[in-house]
Structure 1
Amino acid sequence: MARPTDPPPLIPGLPGLTRMPVLVTGGTGTIGSQVVTELLESEVPARVLTRLPRPGSPGEQVEGDLAAGFGLAGAVEGVQAVIHCATNPAQGQQVDVDGTRLLCDALARHNPEAQLIHVSIVGCWDNPLPYYRIKCESETVVTTSGRPHTIARATQVHEFVARLVGARLGGLALGVRDLRFASCDSRWLAKGLVDLALDEHVSPDPVEFAGPEVMSVRDLSALTAHVRGKRAPRMYHLPTIGGVLRGLADGSNLPGPGAIRGGRTYAEWLATEGNSGQ
Structure 2
Amino acid sequence: MRIVVTGGMGDLGSRVVRLLVEQGHEAVPASRRTGLDLTTGAGLEAALAGADALVHCADDPSQGDFVTVYGTRRLADAAAARGVHLVHVSIVGIDDHPMAYYRRKLRAEQGIQAAGGPATVLRATQFHSLTAFFARTLTKGPVTFTVGDTAFQPVDTDFVAARLAELALGPRPTAYARATDVAGPDVLSLVEVARLVRAHRGASAPRAIRVPPVGRLMHAYAESRTVPPPGSADVGGRTFAEWLATQPARLTGR
Quick check: TM above 0.5? yes
1:63-102 alignment runs, 5 A limit: 63-102=35-74
Distance 2:144 2:40 in 1: 39
Matched, 1:30 2:23: no
Task: Report the equivalent of 1:197.
Answer: 168
How many residues end up aligned between the 2 structures? 248
> How far, CA to CA, are the matches of 1:262 and 1:235 in structure 2?
29
Q: CA deviation at 1:159?
A: 1.1
For 1:9, the equivalent position in structure 2 comes to: none
Alignment of 1:39-188 (within 5 A): 39-52=20-33, 62-109=34-81, 112-167=82-137, 168-188=139-159
Runs ≥4 residues deviating over 4 A: none
Give yes or no for contact 1:21–1:47 (8 Å, CA) kept in 2. yes
Rounded Cα–Cα distance in structure 1 between residues aligned with 2:98 and 2:177: 25
State the secondary structure of the residue aligned to 2:185: coil
Please list the CA deviations of residues 163-219 of structure 1 after superposition, one character each: whole Å capped at 9, or x if unmatched: 221233333333222111110000111001100111114273343010011011111
Are the structure 2 counterparts of residues 173 and 33 from structure 1 closer, same or farther at C-alpha, using a change threshold of 3 Å? farther
Give ranges in structure 2 of 5+ residues lacking alignment.
Answer: none
Q: Secondary structure at the match of 1:272?
A: coil
What amino acid is the match of 2:182?
F
Deviation at 1:87, TM superposition (A): 1.7
Query: 1:255 aligns to what?
Result: 228
Say if 1:50 and 1:205 are closer, same or farther in 2 by CA, change over 3 A: closer
Q: Is residue 212 from structure 1 mapped to residue 193 from structure 2 by the alignment?
A: no
In angstroms, what is the RMSD of aligned CA positions? Answer: 1.7
Report the CA distance shift for 1:161/1:98 in structure 2 as closer, same or farther (over 3 A).
same
State the distance in 1 between where 2:250 and 2:158 align: 17
Amino acid at match of 1:25: T
Quick one: which amino acid aligns to residue 258 of structure 1? S
Contact 1:180 1:217 in 2 (8 A): yes
Check conservation: 1:84, 1:118, Cα contact below 8 A.
Answer: yes
Residue 64 of structure 2 aligns to a residue whose secondary structure is: helix
What is the TM-score normalised by the length of structure 2? 0.91
Please report how far the alpha carbon of residue 70 of structure 1 lies from its aligned counterpart in structure 2 after TM superposition. 0.7
2:31 touches 2:58 (CA, 8 Å); kept in 1?
no
Tell me which structure has the larger Cα radius of gyration. 1
* Contact in 2 for aligned 1:36/1:46 (Cα 8 Å): yes
Query: Which secondary structure does the structure 1 equivalent of 2:38 belong to?
Result: coil
